[in-house]
Chain A
Amino acid sequence: MWNNIIKPTLVLFIVCAVIAGALAYVNGVTQEIIEARTQQEQEQFRKEVMAEADRFVKIEKEGMPDKIAGVYEAYRNDTIVGYVMDVTVKGYGGAMKLTVGVNINGQVTGVVIGDNNETPGLGSKAKDPGFTEQFKEVTTDNTLNVVKQNKKSADEIQAISGATITSRAVTGGVQAALDSVKLITEGGN
């Protein structure tokens, strides 16, 4: 009884417990480092999408579209020059993190794509300026849709060849950012 059932089970249990404990410890340590680095990266992205701003202040706003993960007021010398949004969308390979900057005139100042699992060589091309620059002509007056052929207006975003799902996801994210800026500027004051 001891040798056949109890001892094996006990040994296995102890091994699992020790390993689980070790993992919990390493996880605790590494998570902090990862968090700190993510914060740093995010701040850098914000500067990238709104170069004229010198600082960002996170605000809480109710009624934001689901995709919006965070809203930041962008200041230059104490005046608000625009808003930067952290947007999470569902791409082809899972969650994609976008940072979208919209100035107070309602125009997109920049789109940066962060963490993603898109296909290398296809969906990953969404990071290229060739794709993201398209969004810079867009304002809160536009309603975006993705097209496969050459775009004819600011409303149309040309998809990356072979990566329609990724293109649609990013476009949806930028749209959500625009909608939320509209809510902020028209809602409060």
Chain B
Amino acid sequence: MAKSSKGSLSILTNGIMKENPVLKLVLGTCPSLAITTMAKNGIGMGIAATFVLLGSNIVISLIRKMVPDKVRIPVFITVIAGFTTIVDMLLHAFLPDIYKELGIYIPLIVVNCIIFARAEMFASKNSVGASILDALGMGAGFTIALLIMGSIREILGSGTWMGIPVTKNLFDPAIIMILPPGGFLAFGFVVAAIQKFSVLNVKNKEIASECGMNCPGCAAAGNGGDE
């Protein structure tokens, strides 16, 4: 992966549009479906994950030349788990409401494929500066995807957005949207919408189905789709 071919801006926007981790690469689907019952939760989880992503990308990029290949994976896991635990503790202390809402999915950030994949595919091969941009871009893409899903589910399912009632007299909320099936439905329709309007239609479908089953495969092989 040549560093010079990617300008700073393109690294940043890569994570938001072209390779949006949730909607294009289909990574990090577990939290995307689980906590998006409210738009606020989506933002909370997005920021938490971005923090972990930023921290782990920076550290891994810093020590990338000192880590022998053999222990690469345990080192990555330890770093990511460390930042995840820090985020967990910080949320518990300073944002207890969000902490209670996100619950068990905060520690599960450590197995969020997005973070491991970026560590393996970008941070371990690029400079700290580029890794920071990558983390911010991917984090933003993740947060935006969560915000979209959370908003759809909250508006249709509770009639509110960020807690503010919005559909008072228009229609009765469909509770199913904030229940598990609603998560699948929202995700399905959003991806369908994207596939319909995306110029890179065919190419993205391939990426979607491959990365969907290859999270550690991506990590181990370094370029996704080897196994």
A12 touches B92 (CB 8 A): no
Is B196 an interface residue when CB atoms closer than 8 A count as contact?
Answer: no
Q: How far is the CB of B5 from chain A (nearest CB, A)?
A: 31
Q: What DSSP secondary structure best describes chain B's contact surface?
A: helix
Binding site for B on A (CB under 8 A): 3-4, 7-9, 11-12, 15-16, 19, 22-23, 26-27, 29-30, 33-34, 37, 117
Chain A residues lying within 8 Å of B75, measured Cβ to Cβ, are 11-12, 15
Count residues of B near A (Cβ-Cβ below 8 Å): 21
Known interface pairs A8-B71, A9-B71; A16-B89 also in contact (CB < 8 Å)? no
Closest to B90 in A: A30
Q: Contact partner of A8 among B68, B85, B90, B93, CB < 8 A?
A: B68
Q: Inter-chain contact count A-B, CB under 8 Å?
A: 48
Chain A residues lying within 8 Å of B74, measured Cβ to Cβ, are 12
Report the separation of the CA atoms of residues A7 and B96 in the bound assembly, to the nearest whole angstrom.
42
Chain A residues lying within 8 Å of B70, measured Cβ to Cβ, are 4, 8
Chain A residues lying within 8 Å of B67, measured Cβ to Cβ, are 11, 15
Q: How far is the CB of B110 from chain A (nearest CB, A)?
A: 12
Report the separation of the CA atoms of residues A137 and B75 in the bound assembly, to the nearest whole angstrom.
59
B90 touches A26 (CB 8 A): yes
Closest to A3 in B: B68
B68 touches A7 (CB 8 A): yes
Is B66 an interface residue when CB atoms closer than 8 A count as contact?
Answer: yes
Is B82 an interface residue when CB atoms closer than 8 A count as contact?
Answer: yes
A30 touches B93 (CB 8 A): yes
Report the separation of the CA atoms of residues A26 and B71 in the bound assembly, to the nearest whole angstrom.
26
B89 touches A30 (CB 8 A): yes
Report the separation of the CA atoms of residues A27 and B86 in the bound assembly, to the nearest whole angstrom.
8
